[in-house]
Amino acid sequence: MILNGGSVIRMMEGILGKEVLTMGLSSYLKANAYGSTTEDDLFSHLESAGVSAGVWPGTYQGSGTFGDIMKSWTNQAGYPLVTAVTECPEGLDGSCQLRLSQEWFVTKGDTNGEKRMFDIPITVNVLDSSLPVAWLSDSEMVLELPLEKYNSSSSNPIIINNEATGYYRVNYDDNNWFKIAAAVMDNIDLIRPFNRVQIICDLVALEGSGHVSSDLHDDITGNWEDDDQVVIWATEQCGTNYKNSKPLRRI
């Protein structure tokens, strides 16, 4: 699913917005026509465009520049796995929080104890924002969910990484996976098409790495119809790992 260069550019669009990214790229190309450049030149123009438009730094609260955070993606190999655990109190209508953590995701072998940290833009479906609502720059963080947006009575799933613009995998607690499975069966429109593709591809990768069970993988992917356009996209995007996995079952 993940191709580094194109995925990083798409993530920058997700951070800044399409219009601001285009403005920054135009400024960069105009200023450096017929000259040699480095990635710092590009990041500087994108940051300036973001500041001018009021979208940068946005919710980012670190001390780094736009270039600093992007170098966590361009100057080291691989990409992260974000694990999202929804924590709600017992009883009805209690306020909930998301506990987010990151780890370097590897598909084969292990990390041999090496840790790699990324500055990860976080978007959440229930918070109705196309731009990042938070940044996961450390190993773990907690995001408070507004009571009116999501609470202990909510039956719809939490989906991290709106429109799959972020360059990372996502895993959830079992309860949220069950909510995703219910949405797939009963109201698939609760999940945006790009996120449906993301979920299928993430499940394939997470089953292969041992992060989720085969039963959970089958329970969710088995409820997409074989001729669903999303399944076709996912088959193309997930590559050989997906094609070699268990076939999707017709409802």
124-163 pLDDT, tens digit per residue, is: 999 988 899 999 999 999 999 999 999 999 999 999 999 9
- Using DSSP's 3-state secondary structure scheme, residue 82 falls into strand
Q: What is the mean pLDDT of the chain?
A: 89
Mean pLDDT of 201-223: 89
Mean pLDDT of 185-213: 91
Q: Sorting pLDDT into bands at 50, 70 and 90, what band is 243?
A: very low
Q: What whole-number distance in Å separates Cα of residue 28 and Cα of residue 16?
A: 15
Q: Sorting pLDDT into bands at 50, 70 and 90, what band is 225?
A: low
Mean pLDDT of 20-26: 98
Among 67-71, 104-108, 202-206, the minimum mean pLDDT is found in 104-108
- The DSSP line for 137-149 is -SSEEEEEPPTTT
Q: What is the pLDDT, as a whole number, of residue 244? A: 40
In 88-218 the beta strands, taken as DSSP E runs, fall at: 97-105, 120-122, 134-136, 140-144, 169-172
**Residue 218 reports pLDDT greater than 70:** yes
Measured between alpha carbons, how far apart are the two ends of the chain, in Å? 25
Token pair 């993530």 is at which residue?
A: 11
Q: What is the pLDDT, as a whole number, of residue 91? A: 76
Q: What is the pLDDT, as a whole number, of residue 111? A: 80
Mean pLDDT of 213-242: 71
pTM for the full predicted model: 0.91
**Residue 248 reports pLDDT greater than 50:** no
Mean pLDDT of 47-59: 98
> 56-83 burial by CB neighbour count: b if 16+ within 10 A, else e?
bbbebeeeebbbebbbbbeeeebbbbbb
Among 34-43, 89-98, 242-251, the minimum mean pLDDT is found in 242-251
